[in-house]
Structure 1
């Protein structure tokens, strides 16, 4: 028997240990394994979800380890993926450990096991790559001693990809610094031609082996159901969920929608749970286990439940709201139907989807003047600055600021060190042309998603064409191919129940309790907000991201200033009636507005009239309208001197026998309401109860 045949036999035996006695290597799996183990090459594998990409690196790991190679280092984006991969590795006798933000207490023991040579696979989250200690002390040793480096979900490397992550850009440096002869494997199920070319070039220029297969999913039955309103969509879901096979995932575009839909479906008796990036880690893990064990009909999830979640018998995927990219959509629906002959894939699009896409688009890489200003602050600081210390000096919210700093780090203009961030002083150019091309590509993808919804031809072929799949052909299974379109009918009772749920008014507003970092010198406040200045827990009519009141509120704020609509007054009265305050308000105060004076004033007067409360007056806006700011320190500075208490209001407050209801049209950061509450309490109000029409989320 030749060495070649012997190696393939070993690979087949390892695969059977991993996937069962009936498993056999696909030709491209063997080609990739041979390239990694024998030729020590760099390879990119672009294959459909469920094809067996993880089998390639686990089998290659076993073969390399048996030949004396060091451990495999896998960069993997999500904890759910890590847990599934560790379980799979154990089945094949491969000892796998992980390093991520959720197991910091285990790091020292894990590193000791790596040093002792007993770890075969180390899974690392991309965020670790930019941690100073890990990057400077641990990563060089891992890279030098690795037997194989794997980049899972490799489309995240490319800013052309639908799920680009700045932390993944650190991999460019890691790959460039690897010693000769260490093989590298990159894998993804969702990369079009442009992303494939970009990732391959980052791997090895023109020398990377690219194995790209057909992306057909024979088990998927794709359909679109068009319904006119949010309540119609979730009513349809409530009436048809029990008919869908097995268990599955219901995807939403926002956290608020996930919780709204979960509540409605539970009211109808369905076993479901909400899952998002805001869900506590223990709850996430329990929810995943409950879905795996078929104790839930569905998880109602944001994209936080995405790459790598592995349940082969998922029977359906429903999207309430369309993702902004056909590529992202195909990646998410690929969770279903891996181990069953038929899985239902249903999209319930809504007109509000485009508003949500626009919000996500607003989080793109900042304009050049803001980037330059940030670098100037870092250069002039003379010491490392934490993100919190930078925030008061840069007009970006925390998430965008951190994303920008990570990109600057990889570009070499900034560096993350102990204590925060520093500027390197290296020349840096703003790649405006590239950012504009990426923005244009995002708009093209959004239009393609709208075209998918309107398509009358094969839906699977449409999606595979978007992924530049040369073998794309009509599937013969989707609603357009078969002519079997799902009914959009909803019973009047179901629609009424959904309407009641979605338009159930009232969202708690937790008060700000801490002053932001960096304003003590100019505003004289820091640390905890004093109890005598603290607002009570308030209420909002609804969230702008809700699929119920959110639609109505977004329309209101997109139109000209007007008196408060009657339906909103009625809903606010319900909010007030359900408010469990310890003492009834003694009066109403409004916050003067430059942009919507009629809306705010009319809302305050109507509440006072209906509640038979005295209207005490208005906090008067001073000077010009306050410019919009994006982070806490900047926003607080801008509103600190923007309001004043007129004498007649001060007199009324000094004799108020109870709490004051403080009314505004919307809360964004919460700092206007915080400053207003401080002013009112300093003027004698015993307590302040914030009330607003809208809150962001």
Structure 2
């Protein structure tokens, strides 16, 4: 458990006529929702009263659609009427921010946001806050530790804000399904608040352990409002199908039957693109949406979904909608790794529906490969102690601020994991984010192995529970509510196990045929690296800037490991086993796939160079030999292992380290002049970082080749 945040001693709240305050609150609610008959429920008024009348701290654990945002907007208006400062809302959902700003404007609330998408607006927003022209400031959690915001803006807000709201408060807790290091900064903010400033924490997805953890961090005398987590408008069901093509075909045949517009959730970015492309080919109006979608396009797609202009967005969990989006269905193509995360996703459907006459459909199409994807995301957990110590030692040795790219060249971590780790170390006091990067504080730091192990074990239990959800014959909503420790959990009477939803597993022959053809179509572009990593000079390597000479052309792979089609066959080949990798010639189905890729791609090559593999030598050799025979071009070189002490994959956690490791491990072996004037097919088994192919292409071009085109079996991402 984390240490509780100290709650400032409450200042005596001014005497308020509670009946008059409630009447004013309901007038504000009617302006907010645009309905003259709107009234506050008793539990909503209890929360508003605690915040705006008694100036207390409150934790609200209520289902999506309960009206949590109405609570803090109405409380804001009451507090502002009495001269309080602006409300600060910390929320990770940019889409939610946009919708809330629109809702706030309807009630005459002046709301602004500071996040990664509006950097150019930050300075004028800061001036407006200082001038008292802002009622509500929505900030993304990563802003809390931006040096300028933390040191210049945050202290003023902590001293003068009228209300602090922590949305998605489960993110504060290590035990939350969506714990985020940036949220740990909120604990410091709570300590720094001026005495008597009320605090509201809200979430729809917190079990009892997370609730107690967040409550403890809020302090003492916290009002906890925990309501029923039933979603009366949802009908839940699971359709078990054996293969990826069957699941795609089911979507094609049954998507139009789903009520209204909705979301088809996928576990990976690649799947969103693949599934959306297939569904469009079957006549469905859908679009792909992920964290890689450009901001302006995201906004347009969210608007199209909310207004019903598209049948569905095929999305990763990056899609979060605001409270006023009413969706008719959610389909999950692949299961999330925990019932709590699943409950949050299905909560995107059914908002604003009258459960007495309307319902939303929720369908889960689980896949065997789900567990592989869970394992991949689990591998991104907090680094091992020696990696943390190495990072701290580098910062201490440097004695000055280091940017993340510069630090990345010195440690064995990807940038994403490095940044996540640094945020945790910052909150723990071992490092500090400053202008220009990160610096060591010199404070002692303890690796809490027991805590990380407990959290890891909790994640494993969540995965086991998700698998149980797929198998259960009890009420599905009861199962999900029990996972959230809902004391009122009972059978819903609406799901497939309760007899309230009947989902056909029938699939048309035409849909199956086209799905099979779609998944059997191999070929993924392998984009060449364009720029050398920063900081190579610190490693004694004079490579920098654009890779202007010696670069590779665009290549091809059969598939990504996360793909629905050939991805499964590739995952089996590259699966890590306790006894070590299985090395064998390329399986016949993949040989056929390689030939299909070649026939579609038609690369103009007249020589082959292969990348030597210590772990899967027979696999790569059989691929290179087979290509030589099929294309009728000679094998003229080998990107050979010359330093076996550099282990496979060394340095793969960041680009600069990887380039250095590849440069030491490999060298080109070819007869002098053999590659002069040649167009080379560079053959390997798996692309991970892409730097092995980049360095090999550079060596081949320097040996006189005119072009280098990579061909590999798989892409890891």
Q: Is the 8 A contact 2:493 2:500 kept in 1?
A: no
Q: Tell me, in whole angstroms, the C-alpha distance in 1 between the residues paired with 2:38 and 2:503.
A: 37
Q: Separation in 1 of the partners of 2:507 and 2:480?
A: 29
**Alpha-carbon shift at residue 318 of structure 1 (Å):** 0.2
1:239 alignment partner in structure 2: 253
Partner of 2:662: 639
Contact 2:18 2:53 in 1 (8 A): no
In the TM superposition, residue 645 of structure 1 has moved relative to its aligned partner by 2.5
What's the CA shift string for 1:390-419, capped at 9, x where partnerless?
Answer: 111110100000000000001111000011
- 8 Å CA contact 1:193–1:467 kept in 2: the answer is yes
Moved over 3 A (4+): 308-312
Output the CA distance in 2 between the equivalents of 1:86 and 1:643: 55
- Cα deviation, 1:161-198, whole Å, max 9, x if unaligned, reads 01111111100000111010100000000000010011
| Cα separation, 2, equivalents of 1:312 and 1:532 | 51
Shift of 1:551: 1.1
1:271 equivalenced with 2:302 (yes/no): no
State the secondary structure of the residue aligned to 2:674. Answer: helix
Pairing 1:591-610 to 2, within 5 Å after superposition: 591-610=611-630
Summarize deviations over 1:40-94 as a string: whole Å, max 9, x none. Answer: 1110000000000001000000000000101101111121010011011111111
Q: Distance in 2 between matches of 1:289 and 1:107?
A: 25
Number of the residue aligned with 1:661 = 681
8 Å contact kept, 1:325–1:448: yes
TM norm structure 1: 0.97
Task: Name the structure 2 match of 1:57.
Answer: 72
Change (3 A) 1:530 1:6: closer
Equivalent pair of 1:17/1:92 in contact (CA under 8 Å): yes
- Cross-structure match for 1:71: 86
- Structure 2 counterpart of 1:252, from 262, 266, 269: 266
Q: Distance in 2 between matches of 1:402 and 1:85?
A: 29
**Equivalent of 1:163, from 178, 198, 207?**
178
Which residue pairs with 2:523 in the alignment? 506
Corresponding position: 1:573 with 2:595: yes
Please tell me whether residue 96 in structure 1 is matched to residue 102 in structure 2: no
The separation in 1 between residues aligned to 2:534 and 2:259, in whole angstroms, is 52
On the 8 A contact 1:312/1:337 being kept in 2, the answer is no
Q: CA deviation at 1:576?
A: 1.7
1:512-561 CA-to-partner distances (Å, cap 9, x unmatched) read 12221222244432322443311111111111111112111101212611
- 1:204-243 equivalences under 5 Å are 204=219, 206-243=220-257
- The two structures, once aligned, show a CA RMSD in angstroms of 1.5
Is the 8 Å Cα contact of residues 223 and 486 (structure 1) preserved in structure 2? yes
Deviation at 1:627? Answer: 4.4
Contact persistence 1:514–1:526 (CA under 8 A) = no
Classify the secondary structure of the residue corresponding to 1:482.
coil
Task: Tell me what 1:10 maps to.
Answer: 24
Alignment of 1:22-171 (within 5 A): 22-171=37-186
Matched, 1:339 2:358: no
Distance 2:543 2:67 in 1: 54
Tell me the distance in 1 between the aligned counterparts of 2:538 and 2:698: 19
Residue 474 (structure 1) aligned with residue 491 (structure 2): yes
- After the TM superposition, which residues 435-450 of structure 1 pair with which residues of structure 2 at under 5 Å, given as runs? 435-450=452-467
Name the count of aligned residue pairs: 690
What residue is the counterpart of 2:336 in the other structure? 323
Structure 2 counterpart of 1:492: 509
* Closer/same/farther in 2, CA of residues 105 and 493 from structure 1, 3 Å limit: same
In structure 1, the residue matched to 2:470 is 453
Task: Name the counterpart of 1:564.
Answer: 586
* Matches of 2:118 and 2:347, distance apart in 1: 29
Counterpart CA distance in 2 for 1:528 and 1:537 is: 19
Rounded Cα–Cα distance in structure 1 between residues aligned with 2:470 and 2:409: 43
**Structure 1 residues 615-663: Cα deviation after superposition (integer angstroms, max 9, x where no partner):** 2242221232434431112211211022223343x44213xx4310000
CA deviation profile, 1:346-388 (whole Å, cap 9, x unmatched): 0000000000000000000011111111111101102100000
Unmatched tracts of structure 1, length 5 or more: none
Q: Counterparts of 2:37 and 2:394 in 1: how far apart (Å)? A: 61
Superposition deviation, residue 585 in structure 1: 0.3
Q: Does 1:525 align with 2:548?
A: no
Structure 1 CA distance, aligned partners of 2:569 and 2:546?
34
Q: Secondary structure at the match of 1:393?
A: coil
Task: Verify the 8 A CA contact 2:636 2:670 in the aligned structure 1.
Answer: no
> For residues 222 and 462 of structure 1, what CA distance do their matches in structure 2 show?
11
1:139 & 1:312 partners in 2: Cα distance?
A: 32
Alpha-carbon contact 1:248-1:315 (below 8 Å) kept: yes
TM-superposed deviation, 1:509: 1.2
1:312 & 1:631 partners in 2: Cα distance? 40
Alignment match of 1:550 (pick from 551, 561, 567):
567
Whether contact under 8 Å (1:515, 1:525) holds in the other structure is no
> Does 2:424 match 1:407?
yes
Q: Which residue of 2 aligns with 1:695?
A: 715
Aligned-partner Cα distance in 2 for 1:332–1:542:
28
TM-score (norm 2): 0.94
Q: Say which SS state the counterpart of residue 666 (structure 1) adopts.
A: strand
Query: Alpha carbons of 1:311 and 1:270: their partners in 2 closer, same or farther (altered >3 Å)?
Result: farther
Name the CA distance, whole Å, in 1 between partners of 2:199 and 2:207. Answer: 21
Provide, for residues 80-126 of structure 1, a one-character-per-residue CA deviation record: whole Å limited to 9, x for no partner.
Answer: 01001101111111111111111111112212221221211011111
- Distance, in Å, in 1 between the alignment partners of 2:649 and 2:594 is 28
SS at structure 2 position matched to 1:36: helix
Q: Where in structure 2 are the equivalents of 1:297-308 lying within 5 Å?
A: 297-306=311-320, 308=321
Inter-partner Cα distance in structure 1 for 2:308 and 2:322: 15
Question: Match of 2:7?
Answer: none
